[in-house]
Amino acid sequence: MASRYRISVDRAACLGSGLCTGVAPNHFRLDAEYISRPREDVVDADEVVIDAAECCPAEAITVVDADTGAPVAP
């Protein structure tokens, strides 16, 4: 299992629903344009990051293993 995740958000796909910020407020924020951004690009592995990626209605969030690049979510 990954010990660190790399998080990215496809800004063109993001709908700005804010679900990710509700599920994982320590890992995501909405910018001034109401587009999601990860608070940090690489974080310690945390199930809540996967939950946020999986609940994104636009599937704009990608989570990969920071060491191997293997997909983790969605």
CB 16 within 8 A of CB 24: no
The structure's pTM equals 0.92
Dump pLDDT digits (tens) for 28-60.
Answer: 999 989 999 999 999 999 999 999 999 999 999
Determine the Cα–Cα distance for residues 20 and 36; give it in Å rounded to an integer.
8
Determine the Cα–Cα distance for residues 4 and 73; give it in Å rounded to an integer.
13
- What is the per-residue pLDDT for 1? 66
Is 24 exposed, middle or buried (CB count within 10 Å of its CB: 0-12, 13-18, 19+)?
Answer: buried
- How many CA atoms are closer than 13 Å to the CA of 24, on its beta-carbon side? 23
